[in-house]
Amino acid sequence: MISNDQLHPVPRTDVGAKRVLEFDFPGLEIGVAEYAEGPTGCTVFHFPRDASMQIDVRGGSPGIDGEYLTVANAICFAGGSLYGLEASTGVAAELFAKRGYSTKWNEIALVSGAIIFDYGRRQNAIYPDKQLGRAAVRALRPGVFPLGAHGAGRSATAGHGESAELAGQGAAFRVIGKTRVAVFTVVNAYGGIVDRAGKVVRGNRDAQGRRQHAAEIVTATGAYYPPTEPRARNTTLTLVVTDQHLDPLQLRSIARQVHASMARAIQPFHSRWDGDILYACSTRSVDDPALDEVSLGVVASELAWDAVLACYDE
């Protein structure tokens, strides 16, 4: 099977997205790079000044490095299953170069990476490697996020097996009082995507083109996923970022609250076949005592649903 070693794919950072989210969030930059030959890619979130971080991991098949960090300079989402974790080393290498190869203790780039399994839709072994991670860092810019099948979501899907449909990456942003909140997600879910009216809008599509809830499929067939069919590997990766100053306990609480809330938008969620990972980060530049972490989590939870609904193109 053809992989990076034989093909030597060329990074692409001008991804030609039809839809983008434009937002104002000082202290956050985003870079996207892809290999059209996969297709696969990575999405990098960069904090020019250190951001505090907490991580919530659920489901049976997560792929992550740097999970013990509580401060981050960058987070890299990538396709390519565990091989795609190489992209995060490229992010660190490019940041190392941008810092003049300084080896001072407080100037070491702190990078965490997480991956999705995106081989289900393609017949090759191309993965996001160190070169692609470096390209994404060179493409960093503020205030723009491509929506749909781009970056880490280039070959992401919602649903499983023959019922799966192309998904991608989504995002949403809001200002509440003095506080900015943004949610970015790459949906490669075992479950289908559900809108606020309770309708399945992506995934779980049968041969007649009808989309069904998991419970309807079980009622009709006796199983959501036939035991004889090979199990797919899935994962939804999410970043919640705010400029509100939060302590580690508050940030961890928001991570859990938002991750749990996403089961409204993706059903089923956190299954054995998923490896769902949510990062919660704070740039700590705003202090608003009137906005407690539960209320902030409520806002972020609604944005997470918006982000999931924005991940796919019709």
Is 131 inside a domain boundary?
A: yes
Parent domain of 233: 4-309
Within-domain flag for 109: yes
User: Known catalytic residues?
Assistant: 235
At residue 279, φ and ψ (nearest 5 deg) are -100, 135
- Is residue 314 assigned to a domain? no
Q: Contact 224/216 with Cβ under 8 angstroms?
A: no
Residues 6+ apart with CB under 8 A from 307: 170, 171, 172, 183, 184, 185, 238
SS3 17: coil
Regarding beta strands 275-286 and 40-59, do their DSSP bridges make them parallel or antiparallel, or are they unpaired? Answer: antiparallel
The SS3 assignment for 8 reads coil
Predicted pLDDT of residue 1:
87
Asked if residue 299 belongs to a domain, the reply is yes
292 within some domain: yes
As for how many domains the chain has, the answer is 1
CATH label of the domain that carries residue 225: 3.60.70.12
Q: What is the pLDDT along the chain (314 residues), one digit of tens a residue?
A: 899 999 999 999 999 999 999 999 999 999 999 999 999 999 999 999 999 999 999 988 899 999 999 999 999 999 999 999 999 999 999 999 999 999 999 999 999 999 999 998 888 999 999 999 999 999 999 999 999 999 999 999 998 877 889 999 999 999 999 999 999 999 999 999 999 999 999 988 877 778 877 777 776 777 766 655 555 679 999 999 999 999 999 999 999 999 999 999 999 999 888 999 999 999 999 999 999 999 999 999 999 999 999 999 98
What is the pLDDT, as a whole number, of residue 163?
A: 81
Residue 197 CB partners (closer than 8 Å, separation 6+): none
